[in-house]
Amino acid sequence: MYDKWAPAFAPDPASYAVADAPRTDRFEVVDRSSDWDAEVTRLRLADGHNEPVLPDSQLIEVATQCAYKLAGAPTGSCPYEAFYWTATYTSATITQLDGTPTREQLEPYGVLDVNPVEGHPVGEDGVARRAAWVAVVDNETKHAVLVQMQAMAACDNRCDVDGSGYMYVPVLGHANR
């Protein structure tokens, strides 16, 4: 029987391949900075404070890299943990990343607070004027990690993370809030 079928056998090496390459679409970035900063500004105005919060591209990039790391992606890095806030979303809560955030979603981050630290100049007074809200969704596990970062002024190439994970003014950390 072997002799009958063997001459017709043509191995196909491609069919033996193992699909072990990482999926490039597994991790998805969801940048909510523009929309959520607009809502923070709207809520501040409703509270009688004319202190807008704007997105900052350098802060968004640092938050994106940190969200990648915290979501389990093979790339990414975070500053020292005092310089960012996080929230984890499960498959049951991930839809909260869509649309406009509620006041209750925003309050834990301190961005609605516009009370300056006494004696500090504007831009170093502890009031968030720039913010990043970036989530990375793991499409395999259907979970997401949101990283939120704040700065008192535009980064203007000052929001780098040094070798020890430290960030400098104008970035706000937990101790500043």
Separation between Cα atoms, residue 127 and residue 42, nearest integer Å: 16
- pLDDT per position as a tens digit, 49-103: 999 999 999 999 999 999 999 999 999 999 999 999 999 999 999 999 998 999 9
Whole-model pTM? 0.82
- pLDDT per position as a tens digit, 121-159: 666 788 899 999 999 999 999 999 999 999 999 999 888
Q: Which two tokens stand for residue 87?
A: 């929230």
- pLDDT per position as a tens digit, 35-45: 999 999 999 99
Separation between Cα atoms, residue 82 and residue 48, nearest integer Å: 29
pLDDT the model gives residue 177: 46
Taking the CA atoms of 77, 78, 80 and 81 in sequence, report the sign of the dihedral they define.
Answer: negative
